[in-house]
Amino acid sequence: MKPLLYAEKVSFTYPQTQRSSGPLSLSLHQGESLLVYGPSGGGKSTLARCLAGLIPHLYHGQMNGDVWIGDRNTKEMQSWEIAREAGFVFQNPATQIVTSSVEDELLFGLENLGLPREEIKTRFDNVVDQFHLSSFLKRSPFTLSGGEQQKLSLAAIIAMHPSVLILDEPLSMLDSSAADEFINLLKEQQQEGTSLVFFEHRLPYLQDFPGLKRIPLGIASNDQPKSQITTAAHPKKVGAFSIHVQGLTVSFGKKKILDELNIEFEGGQLVALAGKNGSGKTTLLRSLAGLQPFEGTIRVIGNRQDESDFPQLNMVFQNPDTQLFNPTVREEILYKIQSPNQELYEWLIPALNLEKYQDTQPLLLSEGEKRRLALAIALMHPHKHGILLDEPSLGQDQMHKDLLIQLLKTISQMGYLVFYATHDIELAAKADRMILISEKGIIADEPTRNILLNKNAWQQAGLLLPHWISP
Amino acid sequence: MKKKYFSTFQLIILTLFSALIVAAKIALRLPIQLPGHSGIFWMAIIIVAARVVLKKGAATFVGIVSGIMAAFLGLGDFGYLDTFISYTAIGIGTELALLLLGNPENLVVATLAGIIGHFAKFLVKWAFGAITGAPLGFVALGLAKAMISYIVFGGLGGLLGGLTLLALKKAGFFAYLAEKK
Amino acid sequence: MKWKRRKLYISTDLEETSPLRKFDPRTKLFLSLCASVVVMLPLQRLFIFLGLYIIFIIWARLFSHFLKQMDKIKWILIILFLVDWLVVSLQLAAEVTLRLSVLTSVFTVLFATTTPSELGLALESLGFPYRFAFSINLAFQSLGMLEQEWQAIWEAQKSRGVLFDIMNFRTLFTKVGDLVSLTVPAIVLATKHAWVITESATARGFDSPMRKPFHQLSYSACDWVVSIISAGLVSMLILWR
B73 and C10 in contact by Cβ < 8 A? yes
Percent of chain A with pLDDT over 90: 45
In angstroms, the Cα distances linking A134 to A129, A217, C117 are 7, 40, 21
Q: What is the pLDDT of residue C100?
A: 84
Of B14 and A372, the one with more pLDDT: B14
Residues of chain C with C-beta less than 8 angstroms from the C-beta of B4:
131, 207
CA distance A471 to chain C (A): 36
Confidence check: pLDDT of A235 > 60: no
Q: C152 and chain A: CB distance < 8 Å anywhere?
A: yes
Is position B84 within any domain?
A: yes
Mean predicted lDDT score pLDDT of chain A: 87
In angstroms, the Cα distances linking B102 to A26, B112, B157, C226 are 50, 11, 17, 49
Q: A335 and chain B: CB distance < 8 Å anywhere?
A: no
Of A310 and A233, the one with more pLDDT: A310
Question: Measured in Å, how far apart are chain C's first and last C-alpha atoms?
Answer: 60
Q: Which residue of C has its CA nearest to A322?
A: C153
pLDDT band at A228 (very low <50, low <70, confident <90, very high): very low
Return the axis-axis angle of helices B58-72 and B8-27, rounded to nearest 10°. 50
Highest mean pLDDT among A251-260, A308-317, A326-335: A326-335
Nearest to B19 among C3, C73, C142 (CB): C142
Confidence check: pLDDT of B133 > 50: yes
Residues of chain C with C-beta less than 8 angstroms from the C-beta of B44:
179, 183
- For the residues C4-28, what does the mean pLDDT come to? 69
Mutate to test the interface with B, among A57, A58, A322 (most CBs of B within 10 A): A58
Partnered with residue A297 across adjacent β-strands are A246
Phi, psi values for residue A390, rounded to 5°? -105, 115
Q: What is the pLDDT of residue A448?
A: 93
Quick one: which H or E segment has residue A428?
helix A425-428
Q: What is the pLDDT of residue B125?
A: 79
C208 and A114 in contact by Cβ < 8 A? yes
Q: At a CB cut-off of 8 Å and minimum separation 6, what does B7 contact? A: B181
Burial class of residue A409, CB neighbours in 10 A (0-12, 13-18, 19+): middle
Confidence check: pLDDT of A309 > 60: yes
Q: C46 and chain B: CB distance < 8 Å anywhere?
A: no
Q: What is the pLDDT of residue A236?
A: 62
Q: A160 and chain C: CB distance < 8 Å anywhere?
A: yes
Mutate to test the interface with B, among C28, C29, C111 (most CBs of B within 10 A): C111
B171 and A17 in contact by Cβ < 8 A? no
- For the residues A222-227, what does the mean pLDDT come to? 45
Mutate to test the interface with B, among C147, C162, C163 (most CBs of B within 10 A): C147
Confidence check: pLDDT of A304 > 80: no
Residues of chain A with C-beta less than 8 angstroms from the C-beta of B8:
58
Q: B27 and chain A: CB distance < 8 Å anywhere?
A: no
CA distance C201 to chain A (A): 7
Q: At a CB cut-off of 8 Å and minimum separation 6, what does B49 contact? A: B13, B14, B17, B58, B59, B62
Q: Are strands A72-73 and A62-69 parallel, antiparallel or unpaired?
A: antiparallel
Q: B176 and chain A: CB distance < 8 Å anywhere?
A: yes
Q: B80 and chain A: CB distance < 8 Å anywhere?
A: no
Which of the other chains make 3 or more beta carbon contacts under 8 angstroms with chain C?
Answer: A, B
Q: A88 and chain C: CB distance < 8 Å anywhere?
A: yes
CA distance A210 to chain B (A): 37
Q: Which residue of B has its CA nearest to A323?
A: B171
B173 and A58 in contact by Cβ < 8 A? no
Q: Which residue of A has its CA nearest to C154?
A: A322
Length of chain C: 241
pLDDT band at B136 (very low <50, low <70, confident <90, very high): low
Confidence check: pLDDT of B168 > 90: yes
Nearest to A60 among B170, B172, B181 (CB): B181
Is position B2 within any domain?
A: no
CA distance A365 to chain B (A): 10
Strands of B23-169, DSSP E: none
Q: What is the pLDDT of residue C36?
A: 85
C212 and A96 in contact by Cβ < 8 A? no
- For the residues A425-452, what does the mean pLDDT come to? 91
pLDDT band at C74 (very low <50, low <70, confident <90, very high): confident
A113 and C193 in contact by Cβ < 8 A? no
Q: A143 and chain C: CB distance < 8 Å anywhere?
A: no
Query: What is the DSSP track for chain C?
Result: -PPBP--S-------TT-GGGGS-HHHHHHHHHHHHHHTTS-HHHHHHHHHHHHHHHHHTT-HHHHHHHHHHTHHHHHHHHHHHHHHT-HHHHHHHHHHHHHHHHTTHHHHTS--HHHHHHHHHHTT--HHHHHHHHHHHHHHHHHHHHHHHHHHHHHHTT------SHHHHHHHHHHHHHHHHHHHHHHHHHHHHHHHHHHTTTTT-TT---SS-----HHHHHHHHHHHHHHHHHHH--
Confidence check: pLDDT of A218 > 70: no
Confidence check: pLDDT of A34 > 50: yes
Q: Are strands A86-89 and A164-168 parallel, antiparallel or unpaired?
A: parallel
Q: Which residue of A has its CA nearest to C130?
A: A112
Indicate the number of domains in chain B: 1
Q: Which residue of A has its CA nearest to C191?
A: A321
B179 and A326 in contact by Cβ < 8 A? no
Count of CB pairs separated by less than 8 Å, B with C: 220
Length of chain B: 181
Beta-carbon count within 10 A of A203 CB: 13
Q: What is the pLDDT of residue A46?
A: 92
pLDDT band at B137 (very low <50, low <70, confident <90, very high): low
Q: Do C18 and C113 contact (CB within 8 A), yes or no? A: yes
pLDDT band at A49 (very low <50, low <70, confident <90, very high): very high
Q: C222 and chain B: CB distance < 8 Å anywhere?
A: no
Domain parsing of chain C, residue ranges: 21-114, 129-202
In which domain, by residue range, is B81 found?
9-178
Which of the other chains make 3 or more beta carbon contacts under 8 angstroms with chain B?
Answer: A, C
Of A20 and A331, the one with more pLDDT: A331
Convert the pLDDT of each residue in C113-168 to its tens digit. 888 888 888 988 888 999 999 999 999 989 988 998 998 898 888 888 777 766 56
B20 and C12 in contact by Cβ < 8 A? no
B134 and C84 in contact by Cβ < 8 A? yes
Q: C73 and chain B: CB distance < 8 Å anywhere?
A: yes
Q: B167 and chain A: CB distance < 8 Å anywhere?
A: yes
Least confident of A374-378, B22-26, C101-105: C101-105
A325 and C184 in contact by Cβ < 8 A? yes
Q: Which residue of C has its CA nearest to B5?
A: C131
Convert the pLDDT of each residue in C192-224 to its tens digit. 999 999 999 999 999 899 999 898 888 889 999
In angstroms, the Cα distances linking A320 to A66, A369, C193 are 35, 10, 14
Q: A142 and chain B: CB distance < 8 Å anywhere?
A: no
pLDDT band at A455 (very low <50, low <70, confident <90, very high): confident
Q: What is the pLDDT of residue B32?
A: 64
A60 and B1 in contact by Cβ < 8 A? no
Convert the pLDDT of each residue in B73-130 to its tens digit. 878 777 788 889 999 999 999 999 999 999 999 999 999 999 999 889 888 878 877 7
Of A220 and A429, the one with more pLDDT: A429
What domains, with CATH codes, occur in chain A? 5-216 (3.40.50.300), 242-461 (3.40.50.300)
Residues of chain B with C-beta less than 8 angstroms from the C-beta of A361:
170-172, 175
Q: What is the pLDDT of residue A373?
A: 92
- For the residues A243-259, what does the mean pLDDT come to? 90
Confidence check: pLDDT of C9 > 70: no
Mutate to test the interface with A, among C187, C204, C211, C212 (most CBs of A within 10 A): C204
Is position B1 within any domain?
A: no
Confidence check: pLDDT of B140 > 90: no
